[in-house]
Amino acid sequence: MTQPTTARREQLKPPVSQIGVVGWLNANLFNSWYNTAFTIVIAAVLFWLIPPLFRWTFIDSLWFSSSEACRDIDGACWSFIPNNIRFIFFGFFPEGQAWRPALAMFLLLALVIYSKERTRWKKSLGWIWAASLIVMGTLMYGGIFGMPVVETSQWSGLPLTLMLSFFGMVAAYPLGVMLALGRRSKMPAIKTLCVVYIEMIRGVPLISLLFMSSIMFPLFLPEGVTIDKVLRAQIAIILFTAAYIAEVVRGGLQAMPRGQYEAADSLGLTYNQTMRLIILPQALKIVIPPTVGILLSAFKDTSLVVIIALYDVLKTTKVALSNPKWTGYSTEGYIFLALLYFIFCYAMSSYSRRLEKEFDTGH
């Protein structure tokens, strides 16, 4: 009698209410009276919002039509995007030359994707980047191989956004690390200089730096000497972002136990060797999340260059919406723009999470 009873007991399964989808719902959404009430309220709100939103987005919408056809519908006019996609992406780049910034953007994104693998971080990769930057600059500016010259005042749209954000982040990160090390220096002059710089830059908004770079800085230049406006905006973004990165990196440096420095001293390592081989690799690893947060903010803050009359992808979208033919379709334009920003930001966030897992040592 014991064996059949044991076999029968082993064949018994948990109640349906505790496993599968039903079990998950009971454990997470209906495990108490207030969670049940909250779940019901949220479900009612979603039931009220989602059907009309779905109908507006997909059922009653137009995707490839004229602006006149959109006047007769109640849904979204996504036709605004394909009809203005060239100007949104490339702005005032000359007609018939859009392939140049498109190819430059493709080359930049391809290099970024290729460089994601740490196994490819070799000296040869640096040479590839150097050659590619020359090619990208040649494509954007022209002047050779029959390509007409395109002044930087005509660089606009998505290429300008990617250029300001990418090169701003790449240049700001090492500068921020040096500022963080300088602020913790034992040399009073260097420490004071770094403290003043960081606190002064963090105490003013980015818009003020952009105004200074565009309006005030040229006043201090000798007569006849000018610096490109795009370059001035790029420098302002680099200086602003570096100050915030410096404070994040300083927090990582302060988190290092004193024993790490003592171990380096016992090995006879110099200050540069200690920082390069022991301290910085650990400090930069633990500050990846806040650092990426600052870089994401820097990517989105490039939209502020519209203040100094630079036409990034946000401004080109606004200009396209100002066309009388497409007046009234700003919702569709800004949704498309939000999706574009989300794709780039999510890609950076995903890569940062991957780096965290790769660098995780379990302690």
Query: In 3D, which of 335, 301, 307 has the Cα closest to residue 321?
Result: 335
Model-level pTM? 0.86
Long-range contacts made by residues 212-221, C-beta under 8 angstroms, separation at least 24? 212/236, 213/308, 214/308, 214/309, 215/308
The domain that contains 178 carries what CATH number?
A: 1.10.3720.10
Query: Does a structural domain hold residue 295?
Result: yes
163 shares its domain with 134: no
145 shares its domain with 192: no
Query: What is the number of structural domains in the chain?
Result: 3
Task: Write out the DSSP string of 167-179.
Answer: HHHHHHHHHHHHH
Q: What is the pLDDT of residue 24?
A: 78
Query: Does a structural domain hold residue 6?
Result: no
**Per-residue pLDDT for the chain (363 aa), expressed as one digit of tens each?**
555 555 555 566 666 666 667 777 777 778 888 888 998 999 999 999 999 999 999 998 999 998 899 888 889 999 999 999 999 999 999 988 999 999 999 999 999 999 988 888 888 999 999 999 999 999 999 988 889 999 988 999 999 999 999 999 999 999 999 999 999 998 999 999 999 999 999 999 999 999 888 888 887 778 777 788 898 999 999 999 999 999 999 999 998 999 998 999 898 999 899 999 999 999 999 999 999 999 999 999 999 998 888 899 999 999 999 999 998 899 999 999 999 999 999 999 999 999 888 887 766
236 shares its domain with 336: yes
Cβ-proximal residues to 303 (8 Å cutoff; 6+ apart), any chain: 161, 312, 313, 314, 315
319 shares its domain with 272: yes
Query: Does a structural domain hold residue 30?
Result: yes
| DSSP state at residue 31 | S
107 shares its domain with 241: no
Query: In 3D, which of 251, 246, 253 has the Cα closest to residue 194?
Result: 246
Q: What is the pLDDT of residue 120?
A: 87
297 shares its domain with 155: yes
155 shares its domain with 140: no
| DSSP state at residue 30 | S
Q: State the Cα–Cα distance between residues 163 and 234, nearest whole angstrom.
A: 9
203 shares its domain with 88: yes
26 shares its domain with 135: no
Last residue of a domain, one of 108, 126, 149: 149
Contact 297, 357 (CB under 8 A): no
Query: Does a structural domain hold residue 2?
Result: no
Query: Does a structural domain hold residue 29?
Result: yes
Q: What is the pLDDT of residue 15?
A: 67
> Can you give the residue range of the structural domain that contains 329?
80-93+150-359
139 shares its domain with 263: no
114 shares its domain with 26: no
Q: What is the pLDDT of residue 9?
A: 58
H helices present in the chain, as ranges: 2-11, 20-28, 33-54, 67-70, 80-90, 99-114, 123-141, 158-183, 188-202, 206-211, 229-254, 258-266, 271-274, 280-286, 288-301, 313-321, 330-359
133 shares its domain with 259: no
Last residue of a domain, one of 149, 164, 194: 149
Q: What is the pLDDT of residue 14?
A: 65
Cβ-proximal residues to 216 (8 Å cutoff; 6+ apart), any chain: none
Query: Does a structural domain hold residue 1?
Result: no
Cα 141 from chain centre: 25
